[in-house]
């Protein structure tokens, strides 16, 4: 499957592309999810899925901080600290639902947090509790376009 690159984008008023995320979004501070907005979704988008992943974590496959799906096509933003109760919760790298803020090992250097939003061509009605890999397996045939913003964090 090839993805058409279009005008779909993700932004955050809290940090720019590769910008430093405030401590209030970190796992040892406020642990608030940052505000995110997406725009330019392709025609035919029926729902969105969101993943936040840190590939720099010292684990074989990095660490997943947030998995949310079943987001209606009419929703184009999450507010700061928003609990996406109206959507389907996946599990983060701890096996729990919800946002887990950045918490890289002290002195490990700058970590990159990829906030991916996927525009999907179907309302999939997936069960709760999928992890990142399970979600990507389920949505891959339905991705119209994907967009991301990367934030950085260091302890």
**CA nearest neighbour of 32 among 82, 78, 88, 89:** 82
Q: Are 87 and 70 in contact (CB under 8 A)?
A: yes
Say how many domains are in the chain. 1
Residue 90 lies in a domain: yes
Asked if residue 1 belongs to a domain, the reply is no
Average predicted confidence (pLDDT) for the chain: 94
Q: What average pLDDT does the segment 4-20 reach?
A: 90
The CA–CA distances, whole Å, from 133 to 32, 44, 49, 51, 138 equal 24, 24, 13, 10, 9
pLDDT in tens, 51-85: 999 999 999 899 999 999 999 999 999 999 988 78
Is position 141 within any domain?
Answer: yes
CA–CA dist 22, 62 (Å, integer)? 21
* Residue 24 placed within a domain: yes
Range of the domain at 138: 9-153
Q: Residue 2: is its pLDDT beyond 60?
A: no
Does any domain span residue 53?
yes
Which CATH number do you get for residue 50? 3.90.280.10
Residue 30 inside a domain? The answer is yes
Residue 102: is its pLDDT beyond 60? Answer: yes
């Amino acid at each position: 499957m090839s993805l058409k690159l279009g005008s779909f984008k993700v932004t955050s008023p809290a940090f720019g592309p590769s910008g430093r995320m405030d401590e209030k979004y970190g796992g040892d501070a406020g642990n608030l999810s940052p505000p995110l907005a997406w725009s330019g979704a392709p025609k035919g988008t029926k729902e969105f899925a969101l993943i936040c992943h840190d590939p720099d974590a010292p684990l074989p496959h990095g660490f997943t901080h947030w998995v949310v799906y079943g987001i209606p096509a009419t929703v184009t933003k999450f507010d700061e600290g928003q609990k996406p109760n109206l959507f389907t919760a996946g599990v983060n790298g701890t096996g729990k639902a919800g946002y887990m803020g950045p918490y890289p090992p002290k002195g490990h250097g700058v970590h990159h947090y990829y906030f991916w939003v996927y525009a999907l061509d179907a309302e999939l009605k997936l069960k709760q509790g999928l992890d990142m890999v399970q979600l990507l397996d389920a949505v891959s045939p339905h991705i119209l376009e994907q967009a991301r913003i990367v934030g950085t964090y260091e302890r």
